[in-house]
Amino acid sequence: MARFIAWRVAQFPLILAAIYLITFLLAWVAPGSPFDRTERKLPPAVEQSLKRSFHAEHWYGFLAYYPKNVLLSGDFGRSFNYEEFTVNDILRTSLPVSVTLGMCAMVIATFAGVGLGVLAAVRRGGTWDGVSLTVALLGVSVPAFVIAAALSAIFCIKLRWLPFGQWGNWRDLLLPSVALSLMPMAYIARLMRVAMIDVLAGDFVRTARAKGLSNSVVIWKHCLRNAFLPVLSYLGPAAAMTLTGSFVVEKVFNIPGLGQHFVNSVLNRDQTLILGTVMVYSVFLLTFNLLVDIGYAVVDPRIELGK
């Protein structure tokens, strides 16, 4: 396993370099200029001075300077839009908020999705199967921002049970996490249902029941572990997708996460903040996928990662 992990980690720089080049190309060729934020055009001398301070006089100069600065000092540079802050300052204050929201949403999606999937498989055609199908339809069909708006209208405005637009305790985290968790919960529930139905038909299940084991022990201890592998393969991309999907939910609930800064960076052509945000999320995605591959060997020791 150590050789497998080392090989995967060694691939990270090549993948991140490709992501950087693609993101840089898209950010650079997009119409508009980060220095034209108002209707009044800057004097040529002032604009040239700003470009020189950001090493953005020529595309090749910025292309070469930015990754070298990140690798040598870990500095993502100053923000084009938030002049009083560096990209590192923005990431330091807003990234933990987005990560907290994304992780809470994934915990809710995983436990609720696995539970719904198992109950739907064990009681096919029953109430839990119908609930699982309803959650799947809502999660796949309804966008997260619609769910977020509906939850805020019901629980924050109509019933006034929960606060809106605040951040600081678990009550502020509840509705955004539920809104963000619905889509991955839908996929996890359906994956778990299909995998559990297949596992329940296995010979070892009949053997376990013939030995006198209770139905709950057979399902939750023996079957769940074997049926969880398809869900585990989905958790890596789902975690990254949930983190990036939190941008819209953060906007609806006015959460001070990275989402609002990323949206503003795209609108204002803030190239340093765009690149910094994309690179950080790319590292998250690669790390999650690696953890999922390692999790295969933990859940099912028969899987040899080296092969």
Q: Are 77 and 54 in contact (CB under 8 A)?
A: yes
DSSP string, 1-45: -HHHHHHHHHHHHHHHHHHHHHHHHHHHHSSS-TT--SSSPPPHH
pLDDT band at 32 (very low <50, low <70, confident <90, very high): low
| Three state DSSP letters for 136-187 | HHHHHHCCHHHHHHHHHHHHHHHCCCCCCCCCCCHHHHHHHHHHHHHHHHHH
Each residue's pLDDT tens digit, 195-211:
999 998 888 888 888 88
CATH match for 94-259 among 3.40.50.300, 3.30.530.20, 3.20.20.60, 1.10.3720.10: 1.10.3720.10
Q: Does 289 or 30 have the greater pLDDT score?
A: 289
- What length does the chain have? 307
Give this prediction's pTM: 0.79
Going from the C-alpha of 68 to that of each of 75, 76, 120, the distances in angstroms are 9, 10, 53
Burial 270-288 (b: 16+ CB within 10 A, else e): bbbbbbbbbbbbbebbbbb
Report pLDDT digits (tens) over 50-107.
Answer: 677 776 777 777 777 778 778 777 888 888 777 778 888 988 888 888 888 888 999 9
Q: Are 275 and 23 in contact (CB under 8 A)?
A: yes
Distance, in Å, from the CA atom of 155 to the CA atom of 171, rounded to the nearest integer, reads: 11
